[in-house]
């Protein structure tokens, strides 16, 4: 953990300690998170709750800055807790062992989550990102409302949240022309000539946007099929997008691509 970052946060919050709350109905899960925090983030003060009523009391008592929140807890959900807290002025790292739809909803919202069993590197990355957001005073409130809407509608949303250096960008999926791989980042090209860089990989968005008529024409490009202007036949072929960008189609993907075009 970056000591300079911790020191800056401490100064901003008039405290030497980052307050953590772990909300999970499984004792083993809470114990594992506490153990990982003790090993990798020993500066943190830890509290815990096994259900929503207990968590509400702890939120008001210990004023946590980061909450590890289980998605499903017996007959309750983590969102039941968030519905009862206003304002939400802490960072949230969701944890879940199941519910494919809940995971997808969290991905669309760009909120951090950890799949059980928890991967150590993913755990450290999620905590460090939360600490960075505390430093930059980002608020998760808009993202929380967004993911509640997704879960209420029970379908893939028509909007996507992209984490940026300045905060979060909410965009319409229909406004995405294409996504281009930039190392371990993804560059979004939008209809209004705007570009945005996300810290997630192209493979991440390939999985997420497949239900929205997006296609991975080769390893560096994920395109919105609705924004193709021209397709030129060739070895794999060349696509010209509505903004004039020329994109090659890999030979391996040509057959599937033509089927999607119904050619």
Confidence of residue 147 (pLDDT cuts 50, 70, 90): confident
Which CATH number is 213's domain given?
2.40.50.1020
Q: Tokens 């939400």 — which residue?
A: 88
Lowest mean pLDDT among 6-10, 73-77, 138-142, 218-222: 6-10
Residues 147 and 245 in one domain: no
Are 166 and 147 within one domain?
no
More confident residue, 204 or 11: 204
pLDDT tens string 152-180: 766 678 899 998 877 789 999 999 999 99
**Of 57, 62, 65, nearest in space to 88 by CA:** 65
pTM: predicted TM-score of the whole model, two decimal places: 0.77
| Residue 145 sits in the same domain as residue 254 | no
Q: What's 68's domain CATH number? A: 3.40.50.2300
Residues 21 and 145 in one domain: yes
Clarify whether residues 132 and 15 are in a common domain. yes
- pLDDT at site 154: 62
Mean pLDDT of 69-97: 90
Residues 103 and 10 grouped into a single domain:
yes
Q: pLDDT class for 215, splitting at 50, 70, 90?
A: very high
Domain with 221, as residue range(s), is 159-261
Q: What is the mean pLDDT of residues 233-248?
A: 94
User: How many domains are contained in the chain?
Assistant: 2
pLDDT band at 252 (very low <50, low <70, confident <90, very high): very high
More confident residue, 89 or 149: 89
């Amino acid at each position: 953990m970056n000591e300079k970052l911790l020191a800056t946060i401490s100064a901003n919050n008039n405290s030497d300690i980052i307050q953590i709350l772990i909300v999970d109905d499984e004792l083993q899960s809470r114990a594992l998170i506490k153990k990982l925090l003790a090993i990798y983030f020993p500066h943190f003060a830890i509290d815990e709750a096994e259900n929503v009523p207990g968590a509400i009391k702890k939120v008001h008592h210990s004023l946590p800055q980061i909450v590890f929140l289980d998605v499903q807890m017996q007959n309750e959900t983590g969102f039941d807790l968030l519905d009862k807290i206003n304002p939400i002025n802490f960072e949230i790292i969701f944890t879940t062992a199941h519910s494919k739809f809940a995971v997808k909803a969290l991905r669309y919202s760009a909120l951090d989550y950890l799949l059980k069993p928890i991967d150590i590197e993913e755990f450290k990355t999620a905590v460090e990102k939360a600490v960075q957001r505390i430093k930059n005073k980002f608020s998760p409130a808009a993202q929380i409302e967004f993911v509640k809407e997704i879960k209420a509608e029970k379908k893939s949303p028509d909007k996507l949240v992209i984490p940026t250096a300045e905060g979060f960008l909410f965009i319409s999926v229909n406004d995405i022309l294409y996504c281009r791989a930039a190392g371990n980042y993804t560059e979004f090209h939008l209809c209004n000539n705007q570009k945005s860089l996300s810290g997630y990989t192209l493979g991440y968005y390939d999985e997420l946007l497949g239900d929205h008529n997006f296609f991975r024409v080769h390893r560096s490009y994920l395109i919105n099929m609705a924004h193709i202007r021209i397709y030129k036949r060739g070895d794999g072929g060349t696509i010209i997008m509505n903004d004039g960008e020329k994109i090659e189609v890999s030979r391996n993907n040509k057959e599937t691509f033509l089927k999607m075009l119904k050619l």
